[in-house]
């Protein structure tokens, strides 16, 4: 299987993760305006599963390093499989709750609260489990990224002035989502042998771990999304017949969104060998500001923003760059 040979390449992979995690939601924007998130999400999950299998049978099976996908899967013990599967279930629940929070409370509240909590919790949990990197630099880097996320929230809040107060339900969903999202990565990392060039009996390679993770997302979605379709947080219930009546463009955009997200997840897991889980996850969750860049320069969300908003955005970008630099330097 393909194994990253150096820390510098691991950082590049983490940056790609950040770009993917900050960009996948554009697929939902490109879908039909009447294509509900609950329907979009079925195709998103299929995209995640497809890319995980594609990478497992290509990068995860080529070369002499580590252990190829099929032999690795056949020898895995139940605890490793269960850990990666649980990671997928936790992520799926957190992502659904975050999307519901965005629908209710808006990006200005849900995304900074949810992903900001996930970043802090995820870095702390992963570092305590496997303390790779300088704790001081890691803390400073996380701090700068959190400030950037809060500035991003302030800029969005300026856009939404006059739209009423913050929804208590939306805020609660964002908090619960962030707590769950900060935990899922640890379970996937715990299922793998720590040195990807030295396979351990019963443990998983990174490619196998991502496939089992994706299966956890897919299987749990049958329960979680079916309940959400029948009892949505906002809007009228939708049915499976609504899903099959969707256009091929709507379905394709969902698959594309899932594929982009899964590439980011796989690259982060592959990079965690050389970067360490805490740094790999922390860099990836800088995706909040990448999403903001899409909003600023592509979707032009701030073209009618009040005076002073662009200064906040520039400060946000500066904090973001400093934070990422500190995370990279922590190793």
Are the CB atoms for 40 and 25 separated by under 8 Å? no
Residue with tokens 């880097």, as numbered in its chain: 141
CA distance 228 to 250: 19
**3-class SS of residue 68:** coil
Q: Domain for residue 43, yes or no?
A: yes
Q: Domain for residue 63, yes or no?
A: yes
In order of 14, 76, 90, the CA distances from 10 in angstroms are 6, 26, 25
CA distance 321 to 316: 9
User: For residue 39, which of 242, 258, 223 has the smallest C-alpha distance?
Assistant: 242
Q: Domain for residue 55, yes or no?
A: yes
95-140: per-residue pLDDT in tens?
999 888 877 766 666 777 788 788 889 999 999 988 988 999 999 9
Q: Domain for residue 13, yes or no?
A: no
- What total number of domains does the chain contain? 1
Token readout for 264 is: 């980011």
* Alpha helices (H) in 191-247, listed in sequence order: 206-230, 240-244
State the greatest distance between any 2 C-alpha atoms of the chain, in Å, as a whole number: 61
Q: Domain for residue 87, yes or no?
A: yes
**239 dihedral zone (left: phi>0; alpha: psi -120 to 50; beta):** beta
CA distance 257 to 74: 30
CA distance 263 to 159: 32
CA distance 258 to 43: 7
Identify the pLDDT of residue 120.
86
Are the CB atoms for 204 and 81 separated by under 8 Å? yes
181-224: per-residue pLDDT in tens?
999 999 999 999 999 999 999 999 999 999 999 999 999 999 99
Residues of the domain holding 253: 20-329
Identify the pLDDT of residue 299.
77
Identify the pLDDT of residue 157.
76
Q: What is the pTM of this model?
A: 0.91
Identify the pLDDT of residue 269.
97
Identify the pLDDT of residue 108.
61
- What is residue 297's DSSP assignment? I
Neighbouring-strand partners of residue 192: 204
Q: Domain for residue 256, yes or no?
A: yes
Identify the pLDDT of residue 238.
95
Identify the pLDDT of residue 248.
92
CA distance 95 to 102: 11
Q: Domain for residue 7, yes or no?
A: no
Phi, psi of 237 (to 5 degrees): -60, 150
CA distance 113 to 117: 6
Residues in the chain with pLDDT values less than 70: 32, 105-109, 160-167
Q: Domain for residue 67, yes or no?
A: yes
């Amino acid at each position: 299987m393909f194994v990253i040979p150096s820390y510098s390449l691991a950082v590049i992979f983490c940056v790609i993760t950040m770009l993917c995690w900050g960009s996948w939601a554009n697929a939902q924007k490109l879908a039909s305006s009447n294509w509900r998130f609950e329907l979009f999400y079925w195709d998103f999950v299929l995209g995640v599963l497809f890319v995980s299998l594609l990478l497992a049978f290509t990068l995860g099976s080529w070369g002499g390093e580590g252990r190829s996908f099929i032999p690795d899967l056949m020898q895995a013990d139940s605890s490793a499989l269960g850990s990666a599967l649980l990671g997928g279930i936790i992520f799926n629940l957190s992502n659904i709750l975050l999307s519901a929070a965005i629908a209710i409370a808006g990006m200005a509240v849900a995304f900074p609260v949810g992903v900001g909590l996930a970043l802090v919790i995820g870095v702390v949990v992963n570092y305590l489990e496997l303390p790779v990197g300088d704790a001081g630099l890691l803390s400073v880097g996380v701090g700068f990224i959190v400030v950037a996320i809060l500035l991003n929230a302030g800029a969005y809040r300026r856009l939404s002035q006059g739209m009423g107060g913050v929804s208590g339900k939306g805020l609660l969903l964002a908090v619960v989502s962030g707590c769950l999202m900060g935990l899922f990565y640890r379970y996937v990392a715990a299922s793998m042998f720590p040195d990807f060039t030295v396979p351990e009996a019963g443990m998983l390679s990174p490619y196998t771990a991502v496939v089992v993770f994706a299966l956890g997302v897919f299987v749990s979605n049958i329960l979680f999304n079916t309940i959400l379709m029948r009892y949505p947080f906002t809007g009228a219930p939708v049915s499976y017949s609504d899903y099959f009546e969707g256009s091929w463009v709507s379905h394709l955009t969902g698959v594309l969104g899932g594929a982009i997200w899964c590439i980011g997840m796989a690259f982060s897991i592959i990079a965690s060998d050389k970067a360490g889980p805490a740094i790999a996850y922390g860099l990836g969750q800088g995706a909040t500001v990448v999403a903001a860049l899409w909003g600023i320069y592509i979707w032009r969300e701030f073209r009618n923003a009040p005076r002073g908003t662009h200064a906040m955005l520039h400060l946000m970008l500066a904090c973001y760059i400093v934070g990422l630099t500190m995370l990279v330097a922590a190793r």
